[in-house]
Structure 1
């Protein structure tokens, strides 16, 4: 089969599903000798009102994201991935991941975890994974399980 992924973007949000996507991303990157890009988008809309009362919330969110991504970066390196990097971005993950970050990193595959939103929330706002699938110009793998892909 001629399909080979070169730039794999994994959306990391700290959830169990994102962790599963990360682990599958490592395996796919190994098989393809691909670059693995770990991205986390700090949803600034979610703390806009709080920030008026707590001016350091943005700094806290960035520190937590950096610590989380550094941990994932080390795991990827320990697993033998030599071409791995991470990026922290701000805005709406639904928009930034499929439209901006995927383009910036020339992604040909995006991995993300399935969301845990309930039916009502999905109806009104839609899930991040749904938006990524809808708007990405490349292949998207929504990870639901931790089963091996073999």
Structure 2
């Protein structure tokens, strides 16, 4: 029996502080290491959320960006400590759906997106569908939706305190 093993070279993992994103990050590190692949971690700040605020204060975006950078620095170090040689990150601004599914995929020649089954924004999911759902339908590369931990166990995120890097 001949086994064909798919190799991935450029893996994208979006993180937003949610438990689902944490699981996706953990698995993306393992896959990147196994494939000797480049791992790109991204946090997308949804600027549309700020358009509704009439007295918009730019310090809000600065605070969110600073927190994202701090988290991404930790994720990057964690990936390096785990043995991923080629890891970087970016903070993007705009619509998470299109940035993840289309823009970064094309720009970074991504061949695998590893994304958590659910993110933080329940309201957007109810109103216009989840980012994960959009990415699985519209990405031009393979998408792995992560629902389980490294031991492939499904864990109720409500019972676990958000690690929130």
Whether the aligned pair in 1 keeps the contact of 2:14 and 2:115 (CA below 8 Å) is yes
> Normalization by structure 1: what TM-score?
0.91
For 1:1-150, what aligned pairs fall within 5 Å after superposition? Answer: 1-50=4-53, 52-115=55-118, 122=125, 124-148=127-151
Q: What RMSD over aligned residues (CA atoms) do the two structures have, in Å?
A: 1.8
CA distance in 1, matches of 2:139, 2:10: 14
CA distance in 2, matches of 1:60, 1:123: 27
Number of corresponding residues: 148
Superposition deviation, residue 104 in structure 1? 0.9
Superposition deviation, residue 48 in structure 1? 2.4
Gapped regions of structure 1 (runs ≥ 5): none
Gapped regions of structure 2 (runs ≥ 5): 153-165
Superposition deviation, residue 123 in structure 1? 5.2
Superposition deviation, residue 47 in structure 1? 2.0
